[in-house]
Chains A and B, each alone.
Chain A
C-alpha cells in the first residue's frame, strides 16, 4: 500500500514541479511577445517614415516578413481594411486585436495597451504619426525593462512554489 502512496506522491511532486516550470516559462514568453511587438513597430515605423507606405501595404509587408502568429494578425488586418464596410480604423484594429491575439502570451494590461495603438493611426503629418508611434514604443520598452528586472524573482517563486506545493500534497497523502 505504501508503495502506491509513494508513486502517487512522486507523481504529484513531478506534476506540480512541471506546472511551476511552465508558469515560469510563460513569464519568459510574455517578455518575448512584447519584444516581438517592439520589433513589429520598428518595421512598421521604417515603412511608414522612410517609404511613406499606406497602412494596408505596410500590414501586407509585415504579414510576409513576420512569423506565426503575427503574420496572420497583419494579413487579416490588411484584408479587413480592404473591405472596410464603413468601419473606422479604430474599430477594425479593436476587432482584430480582440479576435486574433487570444493565443498571444501576454498580460491583459499589455493587450489593452496594444489595443490602444489603434487610436494612433491616421495623423496627416508624418512627424506627428511618428511621435505617436514613438510614444507607444517608449511605453513598451519601459514595460519590457520592468518585466525583465523582476523575471528572475518571479521565475524562482513559480519554480519553488511548484516543488513545495508538490511536496506538501505528497506529505498530506502519506
Chain B
C-alpha cells in the first residue's frame, strides 16, 4: 500500500495540491507527498496541526498519524512533531501573508482560502468589550479540504424531487459529514436541470466562501449556469439582497442556526422561494426540534457521520419517514 495523499494525475487533486502547497510548509507538504499506508482511494478530508502534537490527517477511512518519512503510525510519539513555526508559517501562508485582510474571519475562528478549503484556528483570544477582537498565540489549525464531488447530489435530488413539486430541504449531519459537499452539488443539479426537470434560478449566499470558493470574484466550483452567488456576506443580508435583485426560485445557504438566519429564511419562504440549507444536528429528531416550528422545510435529510457520503435517513414533513442507506456518488 503506497500512495501520496494528493495524487498528481487527477485534475481535481492537482488543483487541491496546488492550493495546499501554496499554504503548507515544505516539511508538511513532503510528508503528505511521501505518505505510505493510506489507500489511494481515501480522499483527504482534514489536516490537523497542533503545536506539540503529531501531524494528524483525516481521510474517508479514518484518522492517521503521520511520521516524518510519511509512514502511518498508531503511536503519538512517533508522529511528526508539529512546531510553533510550522503552525505560524502555515497560518501566514493561508493568509498569503495578509493576515490583516482576514481579520474578521480570524475573529470568528476560521478562514476560507482559495479552493474553498476552510481552516479552523485556535489560540488565545484578545477580548475587547466582551467580544473577541482577535486571536494571538495561534496554537492549532484544522485544515478542512474542500472536495468537490460532482454527481453526489443527483441521488438526493432524484430521491426528493423526481416527478414532484419543488420543495424546501434541510441537510443535517454531525460536523464533517459531507453536508457542504452535498449541498454544493445539489445546487449544481438544480441549476443545470435534468432530462425531466428544467433548471432553476438558484441564489446562493456563501457566507464562508465554501460553496462557490470564489477567488478574485470568479466561482471556482461547479454551481451550474443559473446560479447567482453572493460571496462572504451574512445570510440575513445576502438573502434579502438576492430576493430584491435576482428573483431566485431557490435559495441555498450553508450551516444555518442563528435566530437571524431563521428570520431571513422565513422571509424568503414568504416570498415564494424554496430553500436548500444545511445545519449541524445528530439526528432528524434534533433537527425537527430546532427547525420544524419555522414551517419552512418539507424534507429533512440526515447524513451518516460515520460513513461520509451516505444518506442515513429522509424525513418528509407530511410524516413519511424513510430509513435510507443510499450511497452518494463517488463515496
Q: Interface of A with B (CB < 8 Å)?
A: 48, 52-57, 81-89, 121-126, 128-129
Known A55-B97, A123-B100; contact A85-B21, beta-carbon cutoff 8 A: yes
Instruction: Give A121's nearest chain B residue, CB to CB.
Output: B97
The 3 closest A-B pairs by CB, nearest first: A86-B26, A54-B98, A89-B97
Q: Would A126 and B21 count as touching, CB distance under 8 A?
A: no
- A129 contacts across to B, CB distance below 8 A: 100
Which parts of B65-113 form the interface with A (CB within 8 Å)?
89, 92-93, 95-103, 106
Question: In the complex, what distance in Å separates the CA atom of A81 from the CA atom of B92?
Answer: 12
Q: Interface of B with A (CB < 8 Å)?
A: 18, 21-27, 29, 89, 92-93, 95-103, 106, 134-136, 216
Question: In the complex, what distance in Å separates the CA atom of A171 from the CA atom of B103?
Answer: 71
Known A54-B101, A122-B98, A122-B99; contact A86-B29, beta-carbon cutoff 8 A: yes
Q: Would B27 and A86 count as touching, CB distance under 8 A?
A: yes
Q: Would B22 and A124 count as touching, CB distance under 8 A?
A: no
- B98 contacts across to A, CB distance below 8 A: 48, 53-56, 121-122
Q: Would A52 and B101 count as touching, CB distance under 8 A?
A: yes
Question: In the complex, what distance in Å separates the CA atom of A121 from the CA atom of B100?
Answer: 10
Instruction: Give B135's nearest chain A residue, CB to CB.
Output: A124
Question: In the complex, what distance in Å separates the CA atom of A174 from the CA atom of B59?
Answer: 88
Q: Would A84 and B95 count as touching, CB distance under 8 A?
A: no
Instruction: Give B26's nearest chain A residue, CB to CB.
Output: A86
Interface centre among B95, B99, B100, B216 (most CB of A within 10 A): B100
- A82 contacts across to B, CB distance below 8 A: 22
In angstroms, how far is the closest chain A Cβ from the Cβ of B115?
A: 12
Question: In the complex, what distance in Å separates the CA atom of A123 from the CA atom of B93?
Answer: 13
